[in-house]
Amino acid sequence: MPEIVKPTITYTGINQQIPYDDPDATILETSISNQIPHLHECGGNGQCTTCRIRVIDGHSNLSQRTFKEIETARARKWDPSIRLACQTYAKGDVSIERLVWTSAEINKLQLETIPEGSAEERRIAILFCDIRNFTKMALNNNTFDVAHILNRFYTVIGDPILYNNGIIYQYVGDEIVGLFGVSGGMREKNCADAIRAALGMYYAIERLNRMELVDFDLTIRTGIGINFGKAYIGKLGHPKHKQLAVVGDPVNTASRIQDYNKTAGTNILISDSVYRALPDGFLDIGKTFEVQLSGRDENTKLFEVKGFLEQDIQFQLQSSLDYLLRNEEEFAAEFYDRVFEISPETRTLFKKNMKDQGRLLTHMLGAIVYSLSRPENLKLGLRFLGESHSRYGVTEAHYPVVLQALMATIENKLGEFSSPELLSAWRTALSMITDEMRQFSK
Ligand code: HEM
Ligand code: FES
């Protein structure tokens, strides 16, 4: 009898080779069952494109594109080497590379829907954030310190844009510009996303000042302006180097609103068009202004944003995630210790290396918090996760155990930052996640 050689999948980025045991499993399912992190926001439903791969070798060993994949590939002008792992099966050896890793990359996927060589009118929320005292810091400190702080700074200030489904349009000098709603969506959501990002940036900078910049004898101040309106968006420029360009009156106005913070002595200002998009009782508004911004004939109404009037769960989770997962390994180790203490029999369910398992869990928590800003994919993703857990032998009764262990770990890790509001936000979100997954237990 000739020996049957099983095909293999090679992941070029991490240089790992795994056998393709089950011909009925897609490439995505094979990654997951081998604990290779592979984003799949919509749970393998061919909708989100985060599972996309580039095929380096063995193209002819792959199944044909499904209808869903044909449509996606056509709309986004993909070349044949790009495939959706959740729609693709292998018949022989293949080498692949996973293409989407971070929230920044997921957000950039929105750019694929933007026309090339021409501009299209889209209704978007535009956020300008000005960073004061920044140049002073660059001049007064040595290069290593500046580079370190710059990196920290761009992370804490960029993450809130990305967590809220925004795109970082540009960093210009002391300014960062975020766009919300580039690929469509409701005005209310796009404006709420921009405000959540603004508050996230403001608190992140406050924390940076308090915890990391004290040694530099420096306090960074920010001024944020948000406007909503129709702007022209396109990928324009040299044929070999096209860049995202966003132009129009609302963009200039957003910049001027930001500037007005200096006169008004405020931190976050929004225009009337943002304010009107949001329901009554949503925002805690401070002062209001009626001003003539430079370059405009008529007066513009501006509103100072101080926070949300009611608890905003997404905001609470986003603002604590970075702190909670600052040491992912420790978080995961404590969590699993607690699970096994409450329910020792669950230990036998875990077949693989607990360190990799921990990495996957914390990665997934981050992805879930992030995808709360894109709820259309979240439910599908959780259904997929619930079904795979049912196959691992997880039953309905296990979910409350995990919820209890996660909450205890979160409370302990939050330490001095813990508060009843923060814990209740985490409990609400995690209960929703576990309830959703639990429905798919056998
Ligand atoms: C908040 C809810 C949960 C989340 C976010 C979560 C996340 C994950 C992730 C990301 C994986 C990696 C594989 C995959 O993507 O399918 C995984 C695997 C696994 N999870 Fe969970 N999980 C949750 C609840 C639970 C519960 C309630 C149990 C039961 C004790 C459990 C036990 C397992 C087991 C046994 C595996 C497979 C490990 C192996 O094959 O060795 N999980 N989980
Ligand atoms: S398109 Fe494959 S997981 Fe969403």
pLDDT at 183 over 60: yes
pLDDT (average), residues 164-181: 87
Instruction: Indicate the pLDDT class of residue 196, thresholds 50, 70 and 90.
Output: very high
Please say if the pLDDT value at position 238 is more than 90.
no
State residue 153's pLDDT score.
78
CB 169 within 8 A of CB 162: no
* 19-77 pLDDT per residue, tens: 888 889 999 999 988 878 888 888 898 988 999 999 999 999 999 999 999 999 988 88
> Mind listing the pLDDT tens digit for each residue in 411-432?
999 988 899 999 999 999 999 9
The rounded Å distance from CA 312 to ligand 1 centre is: 27
The CA distance from 125 to 338, in Å, is 43
Ligand 2 binding pocket includes 42 (Cβ within 6 Å): yes
Per the model's pLDDT, the better-predicted residue between 232 and 152 turns out to be 232
| Domains delineated in the chain | 8-101 (3.10.20.30), 104-310 (3.30.70.1230), 315-438 (1.10.490.10)
pLDDT > 70? residue 180: yes
Q: Give tens-digit pLDDT for 327-337.
A: 888 999 999 99
Model confidence at 146: pLDDT above 80: no
Give the Cα separation of 251 and 122 in Å (integer). 12
pLDDT score for 329: 87
Ligand 1 centroid from CA 366, angstroms:
14
Q: Which tokens go with 440?
A: 């798919």
Lowest-confidence segment of 102-106, 132-136, 238-242, 305-309 by average pLDDT: 132-136
For the residues of 266-328, what is the DSSP string, one character each?
-SEEEEHHHHTTS-TTSEEEEEEEEE--TT-SS-EEEEEEEEESS--HHHHHHHHHHHHTTTH
Predicted confidence band of residue 354 (pLDDT cuts 50, 70, 90): confident
In DSSP terms, which residues pair with 303 in a beta bridge? 270, 288
Confirm or reject: Cβ of 352 under 6 Å from ligand 1: yes
Which range is least confidently modeled, 84-93, 110-119, 201-210, 270-279?
Answer: 110-119
Mean pLDDT of the chain: 88
Identify the pLDDT of residue 105.
Answer: 77
**Ligand 2 atom with the shortest distance to the CA of 49:** 1
**Whether residue 40 has its Cβ less than 6 Å from ligand 2:** yes
Q: Whose CA is nearest to atom 9 of ligand 1?
A: 361
Q: Evaluate: CB of 381 within 6 angstroms of ligand 2.
A: no
Say what the alpha-carbon torsion angle 297, 298, 304, 309 is, to the nearest 10 degrees.
-150
Rounded to 10°, the helix 354-371/420-438 angle is 100
69 lines ligand 2 (CB under 6 A): no
pLDDT, residue 1, reads 54
DSSP for residue 63: P
- Closest residue by Cα to residue 333 from 316, 307, 353, 348: 353
Ligand nearest to the CA of 31: 1
Higher per-residue confidence, 245 vs 3:
245
Minimal-distance CA residue to ligand 1 atom 15: 32
The whole-number average pLDDT for the span 88-110 is 85
Can you give the pLDDT at residue 200? 93
Both tokens assigned to 367: 């992805």
Question: 84: Cβ below 6 Å to ligand 2?
Answer: yes
Q: What is the pLDDT of residue 2?
A: 58
**For ligand 1, atom 21: residue with the closest CA:** 389
What is the Å distance from ligand 2's center to 97 Cα? 15
Using CA atoms, how far apart are residues 295 and 74, in angstroms rounded to an integer? 43
Which of 389, 403, 428, 437 most suits a substitution to test ligand 1, by most atoms within 8 Å of the C-beta? Answer: 389
**How many of the other CB atoms lie within 10 Å of CB of 90?**
21
**Structure confidence at residue 197 (pLDDT):** 95
By mean pLDDT, which of 81-85, 154-158, 287-291 is the weakest?
Answer: 154-158
- The predicted pLDDT at position 161 comes to 92
